Amino acid sequence: MFRLSDKGWLRLAILTGALLVITNLVMNVGEEYLRERFEGMRRKAYFENVISRKGLSLKEARHWRSVEDRENQEAPVIK
């Protein structure tokens, strides 16, 4: 039977708690980034495996703009 002293139990509890806190922090920070990456990979795979194999057209569309361009245009001018 695995036996620990009171001090040992305390250390284990602190370690577990710290591990949980760190895992939670990493997940919170990484979730957005990872989700975006996975979502992007999923979309790309869907495009390559499904959409592009269906023989649909890829005609350049009108009436669109780069979001970065728009943000640059809308940014306040600082003199």
Partner 1 sequence: MGTEVQCTLCPTECELENHQVGGCKVRINRDGTLYSLVYGKPCAVQVDPIEKKPFYHVLPGAKAFSIATVGCVLGCKFCQNWQISQALPEESEHRDLDPDEVVRGALYYGCQTVTYTYTEPTVFYEYMYDTALLVRKFGLLNSVHTCGYINQEPLRELAPLLNAADVDLKAFTEDFYGRICGGRLKPVLEAIVTLREMGVWLEITNLVIPTLNDDPKEIRDMCRWLVENAGPDTPIHFSRFFPYYKLKNLPPTPIETLNMAQQTAREAGLRYAYIGNIRQSGENTYCPSCGKLLIERIGYFVKQNLLQEGACPYCKSSIAGVWDQT
| Least spacing, CB of residue 70 vs partner 1, in Å | 6
Of the candidate residues 3, 7, 63, 79, the single one contacting partner 1 (CB under 8 A): 63
- Find the binding residues for partner 1 in span 30-59 (CB under 8 A): 40, 43-44, 46-47, 50-51, 54, 56-59
User: Contact at 8 Å (CB) between 4 and 12?
Assistant: yes
Q: In whole angstroms, what is the distance from residue 10 CA to residue 2 CA?
A: 15
DSSP-derived secondary structure for 21-40 = HHHHHHHHHHHHHHHHHHHH
Residue 73 near partner 1 by CB under 8 A: no
Residue 70 near partner 1 by CB under 8 A: yes
